[in-house]
A and B are shown apart, each in its own frame.
Chain A
Amino acid sequence: MNPPGSSPTEILVTVLGGYLGAGKTTLVNHLLRRSDQPIAVIVNDFGSIAIDADLIDAHDGETITLENGCICCSMVDGFAAALDQVLAAPVRPARLVVEASGVGDPAEIAAYGHGPGLRLAGVVTVVDGVRVRKQLRDEYIGDTVAAQVVAADLIVANKADLVVDPGLVLDALAARSSAPILAATHAGVDPELVWDLPRVGKRTLTAAPASSRFRSWSITSDEPMDRAKTMELLAADAAVVRAKGVVRFVDAPEVRVIVHRVEDDVTVTEAGQWRGGASQLVFIATNS
């Protein structure tokens, strides 16, 4: 599905940020595995990429041909050269995932997502739920991690199963960003929630506080959800500009349902078998 206003020939670019060890590559693997669309991957530093072997078709020097026909390559020779490699692959990707380095500012990479034939479809920052509070206070990396959080349109708070104080983690992240926060284990976020995000994060390379134009929240449920109540939730707040979710309902717990709200239009699509995990919904609303 293309976001409103995009041309079908444009490649949709999602930038993944996050400090060393947060789980960016785990998320890349998860997106490749779970998405039906052809996805190409550009990594900042080839040394850091660890694509799962079953997703790889061929490994040729510094380029990996993925099982989906697209490629994974590094941007050591610059973004333009990497993009050339991506476009030369046998399969033209619908989406391009660019993994920033562990100390990279994803806002900086996102600037490339506006080039000809490209459209930026969001910045996703993965944080290590166990370590992020300590990291944010660290003299050496605190500002680096904070910049990654500030740039995000969506935050994946990973390693949720190991976090003992989730409320404090949420507070630390929400103090810096109005982006929706999704708790995850092994970066297991449904791709539908990752793609095509409205812009919430900061894009200029400055320390200006994140936009306060938006507020956001998310709902996670391990149990199937009540259909009527969910529809009510989706429609309730007039200030919501965008909501999306991958959920299962009590009346059909084996069916994967994707729900969207764009301005006031709510759509509900059944999308095959439930794939396990929790139902998740994210909401982004204006702050006026």
Chain B
Amino acid sequence: MTDKTMTEDAVTDIRESADGESGSGAATVVYPAKRVITMNPANPFAEAVAVRDGRVLAVGTVSEVRSWERPGEKFTIDTRFENKVLLPGFIEAHSHVMAGGMWEMPYVGFFDRRDPNGQVWTGCGKFEDVEQRLIEADREMTDRGDDPGEILLAWGLDPIYFEGDRVTRHHLDRVSDTRPIFVYHASGHLATVNTPMLERAQITAEATTPGVSLGPDGQPDGELQEPPAMNLAREAFGKFRSNLAAPGAMQNYAREARNAGHTLVVDLGTSQLIVPEQMERWQASTARDDFPCRAMVALSSMMGGPSNLEDLAAFGETLKDQETDKLRFGVVKLLLDGSIQGFTARISWPYYYDAPEGHPGNGQWLIPPDQFADIFGAFHRAGLTVHTHCNGDQATEVFVRAVEKVLAESPRPDHRHTVQHCQLTTKAQYKRMAALGMCANIFSNHIFYWGDQHRDITVGPERARGMDACATALREGVSFSIHSDAPITPLGHLHTAWCAVNRLTASGKVLGEEECISVKDALHAITLGAAWQLKLDHDMGSIESGKLADFAVLEEDPLEIDPVRLKDIAVWGTVLGGVPQPAGT
């Protein structure tokens, strides 16, 4: 943090207090709360927190924190949280800025989802719901004077849950037989388009690109499978992709995070920081007073960069000097394998449980395993913390072996290299991770969203019960966090924590009760656990004197309620650097 930004925060703070109930204009604000859950083991619960210059001055009883008041000073007592519960601001250590860009387009997914305005978009449980939402979107476009040929884009379609036929162009033609429509599926592997879109893109039965699905009449039925086929509807796919990077995307991403109680989100490997325009966009967005969350942006090796790996690592080293109060750096993202539900994660024998016919037998590598240690080593030696996407246990194995090898050659204490997703990591691997000082960021949301499929189809009952093994990480002494991978699943740590605590699938079954963790441990994972692996635990992750005044403000106490209701706790918003940030603004 620089002095300049601290001063700016303090100014904001004073202005906020001046608008408040006491109106004294004092630089210290005391927030009494129903309870403060500090996550500081030495001082776990408190009545109130006093904030000065964007930081926690003191936490304790009201009289304890007021005892810091000196003659001539006047503390402001802000009672807006007196019936609310304060926790350290949640830290989402694995999400993507596209989570904000998606909201440039209407959502037609199966599950309820809350947008950055705080509005809940109810899930589309059947095609008629999708149709109705698209008719409204079409009407809105017409009402605001869009060209009738302007493409209607939508996202999140999840017809796996619909009864009856597949969704085809005929369904979408019922929405409009003039305006082209392009609907991106939740899986990311498919798009469905209507007849005007097929005509506009000149996609015919003669198309030789694999993935252009044909109907019983021998004509394209509107389903475009995988990127080469989706690319045929190039205008639509291009516009979809540019929406994800629209100017509003970063702001919406931060607002959505704030709405769910987060004060730091990590964009883990979506941005090409080496491209100056992308760096400038992050700098400009986060510099705005109304950017309501801190962001850490990971350096990514898979998304471009200099041809020389050492150059990219050297660039990564320089990023630390460009940090501001709300824009952080320091981690690099690498990817080793694909996804379990897509059967592209690298898993060990006996491989997939019930893979689709013709599946090649195992998943896909994204970096050659023999090359991984060299790539990892370059970033390790540059002093960066390496976060590697490993869904399958073979991927974890390649990462752990690389850390073992490179650490022996280039020792570096306290590296905190982190296995991201860590879904099928075995107990033996967790033990080695603990010995090496590695961390885990576990994709616990998978239990709810795909747990049934993992048990019945992808990995089978035994491995599914042991996947996303938070309790094992805890037992083996691996510091861990949990994550949403938004927009893959919705951003929201209370839901993510609920998954780790209850391990309930979408069908309501418990998947592996031995791996359930306590609410307290889950709260640690989404605060200090995440802060540790980002090397920010000295400044974030708990409410204690000297740390940033970043809080999640909840309507109920997560340690008092039935743990199965954890995800249902209403979030008032956050306090960011001492400034209240109500949800939905």
Contact = CB atoms under 8 A, between A and B. Distances in A.
A121 B118 CA distance: 52
A74 B301 CA distance: 13
Given A112-B231, A143-B361, A204 B210 contact: yes
B368 A103 contact: yes
A46 B305 contact: yes
Interface stretch (B15-23, B201-209, B290-298, B425-433): B201-209
Interface string A9-23: 000000000011000
Contacts of A114: 207-210, 228
Nearest to B394: A140
B148 interface: no
Q: How large is the interface on A (under 10, 10 to 19, 20 to 34, 35 or more residues)?
A: 35 or more
Given A79-B231, A80-B238, A144 B210 contact: no
A79 B228 contact: yes
A119 B211 CA distance: 16
Contact of B398 (A78, A140, A207): A140
A143 B368 contact: no
B293 to A, nearest CB: 27
B359 interface: yes
Interface string B347-363: 01100000001111110
A76 interface: yes
A105 B368 CA distance: 12
A4 interface: no
B141 interface: no
Nearest to B355: A207
A207 B361 contact: yes
B167 interface: no
Main secondary structure of the interface of B (DSSP, over half): loop
A20 B12 CA distance: 54
Contact of A204 (B272, B358, B366): B358
Most interface-central of B228, B241, B306 (chain A CB within 10 A): B228
A39 to B, nearest CB: 20
Interface in A198-234: 203-208
B234 A80 contact: yes
B211 to A, nearest CB: 7
B303 interface: yes
Interface in A80-123: 80, 101-103, 105, 108, 111-112, 114-116, 120
Contacts of B63: none
Contacts of A103: 364-368
A109 B366 CA distance: 14
Given A115-B209, A115-B232, A207-B358, A46 B365 contact: no
A188 B209 CA distance: 31
B510 interface: no
Interface in B393-422: 394, 398
A117 B577 CA distance: 55
B202 A116 contact: yes
Given A20-B370, A206-B359, A78 B305 contact: no
Given A115-B232, A141-B365, A102 B371 contact: yes
B465 to A, nearest CB: 25
A144 B365 contact: yes
A8 B272 CA distance: 38
A169 interface: no
Contacts of B304: 46, 62, 74, 76-77
Contacts of B369: 140-141
A77 B349 CA distance: 34
B365 A47 contact: no
Contacts of A206: 357-360
Contacts, number: 95
B322 interface: no
A141 B362 CA distance: 10
Interface string B229-257: 10110100110010000000000000000
B202 to A, nearest CB: 7
Nearest to A146: B360
Contacts of B358: 204, 206-208
A203 B228 CA distance: 13
Contacts of A45: 302
A132 interface: no
Contacts of A144: 364-365
A49 interface: yes
Interface string B133-164: 00000000000000000000000000000000
Contacts of A102: 368, 371
Contact of A112 (B228, B303, B349, B365): B228
Contacts of A204: 210, 358
Interface string A129-149: 000000000011101100100
B368 A111 contact: no
B227 interface: yes
Interface string B190-214: 0000000000001000011111000
Contacts of A76: 272, 302-304
B314 interface: no
A78 B231 CA distance: 9
Contacts of A19: 368
Interface of A: 19-20, 45-47, 49, 62, 74, 76-80, 101-103, 105, 108, 111-112, 114-116, 120, 139-141, 143-144, 147, 203-208
In order of increasing CB-CB distance, the 6 nearest A-B pairs are A206-B358, A111-B228, A103-B365, A20-B368, A114-B209, A207-B360
Interface of B: 202, 207-211, 226-229, 231-232, 234, 237-238, 241, 272, 301-309, 312, 346, 348-349, 357-362, 364-371, 394, 398
10 contacts: A46-B307, A47-B306, A47-B309, A79-B227, A105-B364, A108-B228, A114-B207, A115-B232, A116-B202, A139-B348
Given A47-B312, A111-B228, 10 more contacts: A19-B368, A47-B305, A74-B304, A76-B304, A103-B367, A111-B229, A112-B231, A140-B394, A141-B369, A203-B210
